[in-house]
Homo-oligomer: A and B are copies of this chain.
Amino acid sequence: MRAEILATGDEIRSGALVDTNSAYIAEKLEETGIAVQRHICAGDDLKVLEDIFREVGDRADVCVVTGGLGPTTDDITAEAAAAAAGVGLIEDEEALSMIAAFFKARNREMTASNRKQALVPRGSKTLYNPVGTAPGFRLKIKQCTFFFMPGVPPEMVRMLSAEVLPDIEKIMGAHRTNCLVRNISTFGLTESAVGEKVAAVTDRFPGLRLGLRAKFPEIHVKFYLNGKDLPQMQATLDAATEWVKERVGKYVLSTEGEAMPRVVGKLLQERGATLAVAESCTGGRIANWLTDVPGSSDYFLFAGVSYANAAKVDILGVSAQTLDEHGAVSKETAQEMAAGTRRIANATYAISTTGIAGPDGGTEEKPVGTVCIGLATPDKAQGKQFFFPFGKRSMNKSIFAMMALETLRRELLDI
């Protein structure tokens, strides 16, 4: 089956907005066993859209379209689709009642421009939108079945899974295969190093497709497997996962694709342990990551973001003498930050960061990219110095934060 994706809208065409919908849809189609051939993006231009609908109508079996279904005069997707299909627009009763119900439920008045959203090409099938005013529709243009959805991501996500993917699976009929996906997250090796270690997996396990995904600073290894025999496919993925774990070893974070903050959170939870954090150069990034995980209040107690040296001494309990003798960016300060924060927060573990994220503040001895990471446990406190060559402030904050969490992960797993 040949599939394409089309994103419409001047915001996307002009680069004012990055199109994240198309990648999301492509990934979902891949998981359904369909390889997307092209994505296209075009602005709110009737003639251009009409041309594209005709071209794609000749070339693809299925096309998933987002955007241009809103109430304003810029929203011309339905008009362009009708023109390409050679039909007129009609007011769809079902669509109109959906829109009316949306406004009624919110006690708001429906305007004339919202009524326009019920205009769909004759012969199309309405797609339900429970979370917005714009209904979608399905329409055949030439040999291709087009699915038109709103561009607002949560509305698109919902309509795709509830209406579009089930319809596409019906169109695939007997050709339909299952696609299983496995995601193994890793940290500590470069993308090319991970790639070299796992490249042979596609020879060992025929039919498996391999994708490497850099989610800085993690590298995710992704497998896709198409077929009809689900238990057999599951067994193949399990075996391939074991093979990767043997090759990549301690750098594997999770065979369920989980990111570091969740992995560390689970390890703490399993041990009934709690965590406190002392951040200087990472400026709250570790705490922000940890608390993005729902339920993190079970193990995360406190973070002290001590940008000023006085705060390191007065609040986190670092000794003024240590700061004086070794400097703020030192193993000794990192160790005392971790020990002090563990004590004041009454936590099982504490980690700390103090370093130079840049762009300023580097010296010859301690250039931008230098970080000292502290760890305090019930038995010990330590500090270690690292250097990362990324240079950019934001990347440094992330890699420093990751290294602190990695230090804790290795401690918890004793690796």
Q: Give chain A's interface residues, CB within 8 Å of chain B.
A: 10-20, 22-30, 35-43, 48, 52, 211, 213-214, 222, 277, 279, 282-288, 290-292, 294-297, 300-308, 310-311, 314-315, 344-346, 358-360, 393-394, 397
Contacts and interface: CB of A to CB of B under 8 A. Distances in A.
A25 B16 CA distance: 11
B39 A41 contact: yes
Given A310-B301, A345-B311, A359-B294, A22 B15 contact: yes
Contact of A302 (B17, B39, B300, B305): B305
A35 B10 CA distance: 10
Contacts of A15: 22-30, 36
Contacts of A315: 302, 304, 315, 344-345
A38 B37 contact: no
Determine chain A's interface SS by DSSP, over half rule.
mixed
Between A222, A287, A301, A394, the greatest number of chain B beta carbons within 10 A of the residue's beta carbon is seen for A287
A20 B22 contact: no
A111 to B, nearest CB: 12
A75 B258 CA distance: 30
18 contacts: A11-B211, A13-B37, A14-B30, A14-B35, A38-B40, A284-B291, A288-B288, A292-B393, A292-B397, A294-B358, A294-B359, A296-B307, A297-B307, A302-B304, A302-B307, A302-B308, A314-B344, A315-B344
Most buried by B among A25, A28, A214, A284: A284
Given A222-B16, A301-B310, A345-B308, A283 B294 contact: no
A40 to B, nearest CB: 6
A290 B300 contact: no
Given A38-B40, A39-B42, A40-B41, 7 more contacts: A11-B211, A16-B27, A39-B39, A283-B292, A283-B300, A284-B290, A315-B315
Nearest to A40: B40
A39 B12 CA distance: 9
5 closest residue pairs by CB, A with B: A283-B291, A284-B287, A15-B26, A15-B27, A284-B284
A10 to B, nearest CB: 8
Given A11-B211, A211-B11, A38 B41 contact: yes
Contacts of A345: 308, 310-311, 314-315
Contacts of A24: 15
B30 A23 contact: no
Contacts of A213: 11, 16-17
